Each structure stands twice: as C-alpha cells, then as structure tokens.
Amino acid sequence: MANLKEVVKGEEVTLEIEPGMDILEVNKQLAQKNMQLLREHNVKAIDIMGSIGAGKTSLIEKLVQALKQKYRIAVFKGDLTTTIDAEQIGRHGVQVLTINTGRECHLDANVVARAVERISLEDIDLLFIENVGNLICPAEFPLGTEKRVVVVSVTEGPYMVVKHPFTFMTADVMVINKKDLAEIMKIDTEQLKKQVKEIKPDVKVAVTNALSGEGVEELIKALEL
Amino acid sequence: MHELSMTTQIVDSVLEEAKKQDAKKVTEVHLVIGKLTFLGIEQVRFSYNILVEDTIMKGSKLIIEEQDGTIECPSCGYKGSLQFEDDPAYHVPIPTLRCPKCGKAAKIVEGNECTIRSIRMLK
C-alpha cells in the first residue's frame, strides 16, 4: 500500500505518496501468470528473440519440421504487420497465430496472454513464440516462457554479443545462425561463444544453418526437447 | 527504445493516483530506474515533458534516481555488484553475470526496475 504524508504549509496542502509501483513489474507478474497457465496445461513455451533477418522464422520452421511428430505444436508470430511468416510456418500443418503489434517494438506478457486465450491449450504441448525482430527491447519483457532463445547471425558482425550484454543476460540458449557464411564474413563463432559465456556462464550455444537444417539437432538438445 | 510507452504508463499511473487523492496539481515525481534496464534517462525525460502537457502534471519536477545493478550467486552466496569485462575494443566495459567470487552464473536482484518511488501533489 502507498504511504501517505500530508504537509500543511499556510493555505497549501502538499501530499506525498509513495506508491512504490514498478512499471516493469506489472509485465513480470503477467508473465508469471502466463507461465503458470502454460505449466498447468503441460505446454512448454519458448521465446525466440533476435534481430531482423537473423533467421528466427527459418529456425522455427526447421524446429517445427523436426519436432511435429513428437509434439503438438503452436507458433505465435510477433510482427509489426503482415502474415507472410505465419504462412511460411503454417504450411507445415501447425497452428500459427500472428500477433501484429502495429508499432510496439516487442511482445509483452499481456499480448501473449490474449493470444493464449485464442488457442486451445489442451491440444498442444509445445509453443514457440517468435518475438518482434529486435535485439534490444524484447529482453526487458519476459513473456512467461520456460526458455528464452536469442538468435544472432554471423552477417550481423563480430560484436553482437558485446554490444547487447543485457539481452544475453536473459538468454537460456544462444543460436549462432548462418554458419555457412562465417568464413566469408570472417567471423569466428568460437569467439562469439566465449563472449556470451562471459556474460551468461550457463547459457547453451547452438551453431546452425537454418536453411539447410544443419545444427538444428544441436539446438533441439540445447532446448531439452 | 520503448521509453515513450513506458513513460505513458508512468504518467497514467501518476494521474490515476492524483485523481484518487483529489489533487489539484502534481508537483514532483520521483522515479527509480535500474541501470540494467533498457530505459534511457534522456528519452524518459523527453517523453515525460511531452506527455504531461495539458495535464495537472504540467510543470512538475521529475527526479530520476539510477539504481546500480546487484547480483546474487546461487552457488557461493555472493551478493554485490556485477563484474565487468574490459577490453579496449569494447570502449565501454560490459557487465557480466559471472560471479566475481566463484565464476558461476549469478542472478540479477537489483537494477532492472522502473519504480515510481514517490509523488508530491497539491490538494
């Protein structure tokens, strides 16, 4: 409860209140609720973050292909606009729900809660949530997933990890995608691995090529699926 | 990057509080923003000044206190400030969640908040 203090000075009454209200905490609490609901229904949810063009959608497509016999899967696709990506994943016969944020640079626990209401949790065991393409903002807004994955691709340059330490602090798994281009881009993936382990010692790393599917098994293992 | 939407929530919350107290004017808002958040102080100020126009918060003083990050290590029990990786190439030392005592993974306990600490208003 807010503390109240009233000060009377002449004619003027000043009121000081201490709401102690954490604006970010509101999202965290909603995320906690999402997690509870998903756990009650034995749904494992995974948040996939990363820059625009890092390969999040292609990776999810490969994960869906590899796992759809084992799990009943649904995918939430966060995007500012369009359903292009939803169609790319939807053709594999899994439920895809697009969350168009319009302007917002990240998904938050509230929009995810609303999306969860629109799917039947009894009919799925695994939920991939592809966040809006952005390596910064989504990190601040947990959604209530079991795991958070950050996808970086070698074409984004050698400093993705050190430039975004706060994002990697929230990651359980890092994917280094487009490994086939590492040599051309002169990127040492071992160096990226070392940097992320400095920031988050218990992070798991998978190196992939989301187009060919190389490394996707490694990622599935890292996700404990 | 999302300072405008965050500040909108802050201003809305303050206005709601002021309405509850039947205040005529809000004179001061004191925020605590963690250094491990993605909120830029300058951008929060900028958004605040725009958002309070035409409200009873216009002209109010905005105090922003920055909160340092604190981590806690579940392995060895260390609680304190974060360790920083320094490399001349990075320009700015980068914070890490590696426990400075035992090297294992630590957790953030302070520094990722955005709290309205207090509001001053005239009745």
Q: Which stretches of A19-94 are DSSP H helices?
A: 23-40, 56-67, 84-90
* Cβ pair A32, A50 in contact under 8 A: no
Angle between helix axes A23-40 and B3-20 (nearest 10 degrees) is 100
Interface touch A13/B112, C-beta < 8 Å = no
pLDDT single digits (tens) B112-123: 899 999 999 998
Query: Which chain B residues have a beta carbon less than 8 Å from that of A166?
Result: 36-38, 95
CA B92 to chain A, closest CA, distance in angstroms equals 9
Name every residue whose Cβ is closer than 8 Å to that of residue A154 and which is 6 or more positions away in sequence: A176, A177, A178, A179, A181, A182, A185, A187, A189
Homologous superfamily of A23-222: P-loop containing nucleotide triphosphate hydrolases (3.40.50.300)
Q: How far apart are CA A175 and CA A152, in angstroms?
A: 6
> Closest-CA residue in chain A for B10?
A23
Burial of B97 (0-12, 13-18, 19+ CB in 10 A): buried
- State the count of interchain CB pairs (< 8 A) between A and B: 107
- In B55-84, the residues whose Cβ lies within 8 Å of chain A are none
Measure B91 CA to nearest chain A CA, in Å.
Answer: 10
Could you tell me if B85 lies within 8 Å of chain A, comparing CB atoms? yes
Which carries the bigger pLDDT value, residue B93 or residue A91?
A: A91
| Contact assignment for A198 to B36 by CB distance below 8 Å | no
Task: Indicate yes or no: CB of B37 within 8 angstroms of CB of A12.
Answer: no
Intervals of chain A under pLDDT 70: 1-2, 10-12, 80
Show Cβ contacts of residue A214 under 8 Å, excluding neighbours closer than 6 positions.
Answer: A179, A180, A208
Whether A179 and A207 have beta carbons less than 8 Å apart is answered as yes
Query: What CATH number belongs to B3-68+111-122?
Result: 3.30.2320.50
What percentage of chain B exceeds 90 in pLDDT? Answer: 74
Please write the tens of the pLDDT for every residue from A109-143: 989 999 999 999 999 999 999 999 888 888 889 99
Max avg pLDDT among A130-134, B54-58, B92-96: B54-58
Please name the residue of chain B whose CA is at the shortest distance from the CA of residue A105: B2
Over the stretch B30-50, which tens digit does the pLDDT of each residue have?
Answer: 999 999 998 999 999 999 999
Instruction: Compare CB distances from A21 to B13, B27, B38 and report the shortest one's residue.
Output: B13
Of the partner residues B13, B37, B97, the one whose CB lies closest to the CB of residue A199: B97
Rounded-to-10 torsion of CA B48, B51, B57, B58: 90
Binary contact (B103, A201; C-beta < 8 A): yes
Choose from B12, B118, B122 for mutation: most chain A CBs within 10 A: B118
Task: Check residue B76 and give its pLDDT.
Answer: 95
DSSP string, B21-81: TT-SEEEEEEEEEETTSS--HHHHHHHHHHHTTTSTTTT-EEEEEEEPPEEE-TTT--EEP
Which pLDDT score, from 0 to 100, does residue A2 have? Answer: 61
Partner B contacted by A37 (CB < 8 A): no
Residue A65 in contact with residue A73, Cβ under 8 Å? no
The dihedral over CA atoms of A66, A68, A74, A79, expressed in degrees to the nearest 10, equals 30
- Predicted TM-score (pTM) of the model is 0.85
* ipTM over the 0.90 cut-off: no
Which residue ranges does chain B devote to CATH 3.30.2320.50? 3-68+111-122
Sign of CA dihedral B21, B25, B27, B32: positive
The contacts of residue B5 (CB under 8 Å, 6+ apart) are A104
When CB atoms are compared, the residue of A16, A24, A199 closest to B94 is: A199
> What is the predicted pLDDT for the residue at B91?
67
Average pLDDT over chain B, rounded to an integer: 91
> For residues B39 and B35, what is the distance between their CA atoms, to the nearest angstrom?
8
